[in-house]
Amino acid sequence: MDVVMTVLLFLPILGVLWFANLSHRKRIEGDLRNERALKILSYGLLFLLYGVLVLGGLALLGAGLAALAAPEAFNSVDLASMGFQVERLPWMGAALLILSLFGLLLLTRPARRLFARFTPIDPSHPVHAVALSMTSLVLINLAFTMAVGIDNLADMLQTSAQAGVQSNPAPGLWVQNITFVLMGLIGVGLLARRSLGAALTRLGIVVPSWGQAMLGLVVGLVMVPLVIGAESLAAQLGLGASEGVERLTEQLIGPLTMSIPGILTLGLAAALGEETIFRGALQPRFGLVFTTLLFALLHSQYGLSFSTVAVFVIGLVLGILRQRVNTSTAMITHAIYNMSLGLISFLGLLQNV
């Protein structure tokens, strides 16, 4: 079910990116009539997507306010068993509504012109326009997660596990990150205005030299003790992750650290997908800092905690590797870092720390 939902969620996004690239191709060819039609189609699909989210936000907001005003009318509906707490429904609806409207605002030309003052985007480029607008989806994911509640999500997964529903995050993780790869490739023009080779070159995905591969390996290994040490220090200072964040992370990632295939998935899937879309596709247009911020906020299971800060710092390192070397080197670093943490957990090396 998670795999199906992931595919259904990302299909419209792939369509938006494809039509936007076709529109840009028609502009290059001087076919202004079809360029305008394809741009309207791309923007229209994105408008429809946000429209559905706006309606969902209004529905949740209305249901939450009604449930709080007349709880007796909802006695027959066991919202808790579905993972919802009545008092959180208005916040969930408000977050979905406001950030969906914000996504539509980012699609407007004044917003694009404002953003172009501190990033390399072209306000008139349809691909840049839809990419900027879709950054709000990252914020929606984070806000919705926090509105539901980290503790609540951890409880839901724990209840499912206790009921005998075994969770295997590997298929969903692979599908999500393969979709990220497709988003990166189609986003930079594959199937519309660039060949596969040209798209990979634009993404910075090349065959790394031995020196670049060794650089990625060393940086990935060095980051492991540094991040573990920083998180340990933060915990001693009372700045570490909350119990809810730790429980949710264990529910989501823990099963992957129980086997070698799971550890490989943890490293390879994230390295391929996240590096393609963030460092490869977005960073050259959004810049290092803003792209890294989106990368950190995408990891919504950490909420807004020290772990989010750690992911941001890791993203900066990966972004600098993209700037100074290439995306392939950043992929190697990301994979080595994730797999090293997975292997440490697998071997139980930090259980007594």
Please give the full DSSP string across 240-289, using - where no structure is assigned. Answer: S--HHHHHHHHHHHGGGGGSHHHHHHHHHHHHHHHIIIIIIIIHHHH-HH
pLDDT of residue 2: 62
**What is the reported pLDDT for 239?**
75
Neighbours of 89 (CB within 10 A): 23
Q: Which amino acid is at 287?
A: G
The Cα 161–Cα 71 span in angstroms is: 30
Direct distance between the N- and C-terminal alpha carbons of the chain, in angstroms, rounded to an integer: 37
Nearest Cα neighbor of 336 from 223, 194, 173, 202 is 223
Q: How far is CA 80 from the centre of its chain?
A: 27
The pLDDT value recorded for residue 83 is 53
- In total, the chain counts a number of residues equal to 353
β-bridge partners, 190 = 194
Q: For 269, what's the count of Cα atoms within 13 Å in the CB-facing half-sphere?
A: 19
> Which whole number is the average pLDDT over 237-264?
84
For 70-93, what is the mean pLDDT?
A: 66
How does pLDDT run across 10-43, given as a tens digit for each residue? 899 999 999 999 999 999 999 999 999 999 999 9
Q: What is the CB neighbour count within 10 angstroms for residue 287? A: 16
At residue 105 the predicted structure's pLDDT band, cuts being 50, 70 and 90, is very high
Q: Are 316 and 295 in contact (CB under 8 A)?
A: no
The candidate with the shortest Cα–Cα distance to 97, out of 43, 153, 136, is 136
- Only one residue has tokens 């490869």, namely 280
Per-residue DSSP letters for 5-32? HHHHHHHHHHHHHHHHHHHHHHHHHT-H
User: Beta-carbon neighbour count of residue 132 at 10 Å?
Assistant: 24
* Cβ atoms of 278 and 291 closer than 8 Å: yes
Report yes or no: 27 and 20 within 8 Å, Cβ to Cβ: no
Two tokens at 253? Answer: 């990632």
Give the tokens for residue 126: 């349809």
Query: Which of 60, 99, 138, 89 is closest to 308 using CA atoms?
Result: 138
CA 51 from centre of chain: 21
Tokens of 190: 């594959």
3-state secondary structure of 194: strand
The whole-angstrom separation of Cα 232 and Cα 225 is: 10
Q: Could you give the percent of the chain with pLDDT greater than 90? A: 68
| pLDDT tens figures, 158-210 | 776 666 555 778 888 999 999 999 999 999 999 999 999 999 999 999 999 99
Q: Could you tell me what percent of the chain has a pLDDT over 70?
A: 90
- What the block records as the tokens of 61 is 């907001």
- E strands within 18-137? none
Residue with tokens 């009545």: 86
